[in-house]
Amino acid sequence: MKTTEKPFLYADIETIPSADPSVFGEIVERFPAPVLNLDSIKADGRFKDLEKIEADVAAKRAKAIEDHAAAGDNVYDNIQEAYRKTALDGAQGHLASIAWAFDEHTVVALHNTALEGFTAQKSYAIHDAVLAGERELLTEFFAEIEDHLFNLAHAAYEQAVAEDKYEPPASNIVDIEPFAVPPVLVAHFADFDIRFIWQRAIALGVTVPEWWPVNASKYATDKVQDTMQMWAGPSGRIGLDRLCRALGVAGKGDMDGSGVWDAVKAGRIAEVVEYNCGDVRRLRSVHRRMRGLAVLAGDVSVQPPAPAPPLTQEQIDKGWDTVREHVESLNGDPVTYIDPDSFEFDEATSTIRLVPGNAELTVTEKTEDGWTAEGVIVVDAPAGEGAR
């Protein structure tokens, strides 16, 4: 019987596209380069004048060259998009870094050392090195996790023995098995991180701990807690940055997941690792908020929502035009004036008022029971501003 409370293991990964040249080659073959055949261009048969014929052919050739260049750019974009998507595929992509933290402990990280000094020119030439770095990364990651769990179990064992709450089977045997428990893994969009780590470990021959919850049910919160599902429900989606903003937690800075590969190509793996650690701090912060706990002082500070930037007169006028149209649709009569400072509802003109301190207008209409709210329209108009 396990007697130790399960620790929370907060984890996040950063991934990069395949370093296998054959993968990139297969993608290139899927998007053949456009063919430019200027010799097939003929003049319009209606032209008889030589000068017009030559001008027509020249114009068509110029247009063909322009279209060919655009088509080539499109092929390049498609290749790059398809290639970048391999970063999300555990069969092709690679781990750039893993960051994690237990409960309230310090966030730590490991990265793929093959990516140090990495450049775009090397990206298809060091496949074996990237695989070796990934294998080392995963091996060390699992070892550090297991060491921490062992230390937790050993500490719990010693405390139980000291308090006479547990008697070992023999005086010369340290039996920590009853106190060894797997962690509850916490991640945002947990299935991706958990499965990607498992897939890369299997592909690289790295032993995965038996407790690793690769097939855990989304409802098994004693094994996995996905902050995305905790907030949005089993089938819902919300990004971590958006969730941070919703909970008043400082969000991401200049980098996001889409910029990881670009940073790695530029040799900035250290920035990727710091971004990875920041995501774990944000993850822990929103997880604690949703459990009714305060954000840790060493993590991400809770910040009030930033005030909206000042609006231009054009934005204000556009917002009030929208409101005016809505009110006219309610009472069927033109509205020539709306008083944004009015707290009285003018039955003759269906005057509406701006809710103080919010960029909202409460639209009302007359019913048998009196004035009732018809709806709220966001019009980007601050209090005291409106149609004149």
Tallying the residues shown for the chain, one arrives at: 388
Collapsed DSSP state (helix, strand, coil) of residue 377: strand
pTM for the full predicted model: 0.73
Q: How far apart are the first and last CA of the chain?
A: 74
Q: Contact, 264 vs 118, CB < 8 A?
A: yes
C-alpha to C-alpha distance for 93 and 90, rounded to whole angstroms:
6
The mean predicted confidence, pLDDT, of the chain is: 80
C-alpha to C-alpha distance for 338 and 317, rounded to whole angstroms:
12
C-alpha to C-alpha distance for 16 and 93, rounded to whole angstroms:
6
- Point out the least confidently predicted range of 108-112, 145-149, 234-238: 234-238
Nearest by Cα to 362 from 345, 349, 347, 348: 345
Nearest by Cα to 279 from 271, 7, 229: 271
Residues 6+ apart with CB under 8 A from 373: 362, 363, 364
Nearest by Cα to 359 from 326, 314, 310: 310
Residue with tokens 């309610």, as numbered in its chain: 330
Q: Contact, 249 vs 286, CB < 8 A?
A: yes
Phi, psi of 268, deg, nearest 5: -110, 50
67-119 tens-digit pLDDT: 999 999 999 999 999 999 999 999 999 999 999 999 999 999 999 999 997 76
259-291 tens-digit pLDDT: 999 999 999 999 999 999 999 999 999 999 999
Q: Contact, 17 vs 105, CB < 8 A?
A: no
Average pLDDT over residues 44-61: 88
Beta-bridged to residue 375, according to DSSP, are 363
C-alpha to C-alpha distance for 63 and 367, rounded to whole angstroms:
63
Which amino acid, 181?
V
DSSP for 296-357 reads PTTS--B-PPPPPPPPPHHHHHHHHHHHHHHHHHHHSS------TT--S--TTTT--EEPTT
C-alpha to C-alpha distance for 341 and 383, rounded to whole angstroms:
8
Average pLDDT over residues 229-248: 92
Q: Contact, 387 vs 317, CB < 8 A?
A: yes
In this prediction, residue 184 carries a pLDDT of 97
* pLDDT at residue 371 greater than cutoff 50: no
